């Protein structure tokens, strides 16, 4: 089944429960951590069946751990804490996601963000055109970090 | 320029090069392929994501 993009439903409720720290908390309630959680990004095959009903990352449908790909994915760089405007909150990774010298085990069209510091709870599913990489580099560049374009927006 | 391939580093001049672009509301993607005697030996892609994952909030009434 195809992958479907969106914020995971579980993430929406977990945000309200302060489960995730996508940035360093400052001057906020005691339960807010002083360091951000570790967020990871993993690639999934076009048949991965990933979508907003996902709650926890698992390897089903993920690229095989071959060709210089490590299942579980790579860490997301998060130099910038989430931000807000009057009506919109947003989070954007602060660097591109890069897999070097990669040979993918099949065609993929999906990257999943999940919180490896919080039991691998899944955050979001992002789809793109089907790609295969052969002895090459996959670079996923993030959109502009603003309220209109950031990768994760809550409006 | 040297290119990483399935057969090791090769000079670009020995290879057939193909490129392409996908641009839509979701992404801007540029890909590059190198072939040696018709065989794909390298493929890279650079994807810029455009479409954010958005949750729209709504307040319930009493």
Confidence label for A20 from pLDDT (cuts 50, 70 and 90): confident
pLDDT lower than 50: segments of chain B = none
pTM value? 0.89
Residue B56 maps to a domain: no
DSSP B1-62: -EEEETTEEEEGGGSEEEEEEEESSSEEEEEEEEEETTEEEEEEEEEEE---EEE---PPP-
- In sequence order, what E strands does chain A have? 6-7, 39-45, 74-75, 83-84, 89-91, 97-102, 108-115, 121-131, 136-141, 152-154
A-chain residues near B46 (CB < 8 A): 137-139, 141
Looking at the complex, does the CB of residue A140 fall below 8 Å from at least one CB of chain B?
Answer: yes
Residue B61 maps to a domain: no
- Structural domain including B29 reads 2-49
A-chain residues near B49 (CB < 8 A): 126, 128, 140-143, 151
Confidence label for A33 from pLDDT (cuts 50, 70 and 90): low
Q: Which chain A residue has the Cα nearest residue B50? A: A143
Q: Which residue has the higher pLDDT, A103 or A16?
A: A103
Cβ atoms of A128 and B27 within 8 Å: the answer is: yes
What pLDDT is recorded for position A116?
Answer: 93
**Polymer length of chain A:** 155
Q: Which residue has the higher pLDDT, A24 or B49?
A: B49
Confidence label for A17 from pLDDT (cuts 50, 70 and 90): low
pLDDT digits (tens, 9 = 90+) for A35-66: 788 999 999 999 999 999 999 999 999 999 99
In the 8-state DSSP scheme, what is residue A80?
S
Residue B35 maps to a domain: yes
A-chain residues near B4 (CB < 8 A): 101, 135-136
Cβ atoms of B15 and B41 within 8 Å: the answer is: yes
Residue A27 pLDDT greater than 60, yes or no: no
Find the CB nearest B47 among A140, A149, A151.
A140
Q: What is the mean pLDDT of residues A124-133?
A: 96
Cβ atoms of B22 and A121 within 8 Å: the answer is: no
Q: Number of A:B CB contacts under 8 A? A: 95
Beta strands A136-141 and A74-75 are unpaired
Question: Minimum mean pLDDT among A10-19, A107-116, A139-148: which range?
Answer: A10-19
CB contact under 8 A, B41 and A131: no
Find the CB nearest B43 among A6, A126, A132.
A132
Confidence label for A147 from pLDDT (cuts 50, 70 and 90): confident
Residue B58 maps to a domain: no
Residue A29 pLDDT greater than 60, yes or no: no
What pLDDT is recorded for position A1?
Answer: 81
CB contact under 8 A, A154 and B54: yes
Confidence label for A22 from pLDDT (cuts 50, 70 and 90): confident
pLDDT digits (tens, 9 = 90+) for A66-119: 999 999 999 999 888 888 887 888 889 999 999 999 999 999 999 999 999 889
ipTM of predicted assembly, 2 dp: 0.91
Domain assignments of chain A as residue spans, ordered by start:
6-154
Gap from A93 CA to chain B (nearest CA, Å): 12
């Amino acid at each position: 089944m195809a992958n479907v993009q969106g914020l995971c439903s579980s993430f929406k409720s977990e945000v309200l429960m302060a489960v995730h720290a996508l940035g360093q908390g400052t001057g906020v309630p005691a339960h807010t951590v002083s360091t951000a959680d570790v967020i990871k990004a993993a690639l999934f095959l076009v048949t991965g069946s990933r979508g907003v009903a996902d709650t926890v990352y698992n390897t089903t449908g993920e690229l095989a751990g071959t060709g210089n790909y490590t299942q579980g994915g790579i860490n997301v760089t998060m130099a910038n804490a989430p931000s807000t405007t009057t009506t919109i909150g947003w989070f954007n990774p602060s660097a591109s996601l890069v897999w070097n010298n990669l040979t993918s085990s099949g065609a993929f069209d999906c990257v999943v963000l999940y919180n490896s510091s919080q039991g691998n709870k899944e955050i979001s599913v992002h789809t793109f055109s089907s790609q295969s990489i052969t002895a090459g580099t996959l670079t996923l560049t993030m959109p502009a970090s603003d309220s209109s374009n950031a990768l994760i927006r809550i409006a | 320029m040297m290119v990483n391939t399935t057969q090791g580093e090769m000079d670009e001049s020995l290879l057939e090069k193909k490129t392409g672009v996908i641009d839509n509301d979701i992404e801007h993607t540029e890909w590059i392929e190198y072939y040696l005697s018709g065989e794909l030996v390298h493929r890279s892609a650079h994807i810029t994501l455009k479409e954010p994952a958005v949750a729209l909030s709504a307040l319930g009434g009493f």
